[in-house]
Amino acid sequence: MIARKRTYNVINRLAKEPEMLKIYGNIINDQENRGSIEKVETPDVTTNRVHYIPHHPVKKDSSTTPIRIVYDCSCRQDSESPSLNDCLSSTQPQLKKLTDILTRFRYGKYALTTDIEKAFLQIGLDEEDRGST
């Protein structure tokens, strides 16, 4: 299984930097506690629909978050299988809508901003489809 092999590689690479390994583990635990990811004890590969997305760290020059986790949604189980990215609909960039939002933002007397750090981790799946990701 690709995700398992890549996870072992990430752990072995981060083991050379124990502090980074600890931070990586904390991020994984945080995502699990939030319900963004779930632990799979022993994968039950009884269907062709099972695919787990591998992940890896990306180091940043930041004191608050020195690494972040990136999920590789372009990964394929084999050359015949589609990736998650292949299965998602692609649309034209929404630049016009973004420009409209920024223009409206400047008209008001007050403005509100938020941090969307965890936005992409808020996608939920039906229980029966969770093995397909």
Per mean pLDDT, which of 17-26, 51-60, 89-98, 103-112 is the most reliable? 17-26
Global model pTM greater than 0.85: no
| Helices 18-34 and 2-14: angle between axes, nearest 10 degrees | 140
For range 60-84, the mean pLDDT: 83
CB 75 within 8 A of CB 83: yes
Q: What is the largest CA-CA distance in the chain?
A: 58
The CA angle 104-108-111, to the nearest 5 degrees, is: 90
Q: Would you give the DSSP letter of residue 66? A: S
pLDDT digits (tens, 9 = 90+) for 72-81: 988 888 888 8
Please state the domain count of the chain. Answer: 1
Detail the DSSP E strand segments found in the chain. 55-59, 67-71
Question: Residue 26: its pLDDT value, please?
Answer: 94
Domain extent, residue 69, equals 2-132
Task: Report how far residue 16's alpha carbon sits from residue 14's, in angstroms, rounded to the nearest whole number.
Answer: 5
Question: Residue 92: its pLDDT value, please?
Answer: 75
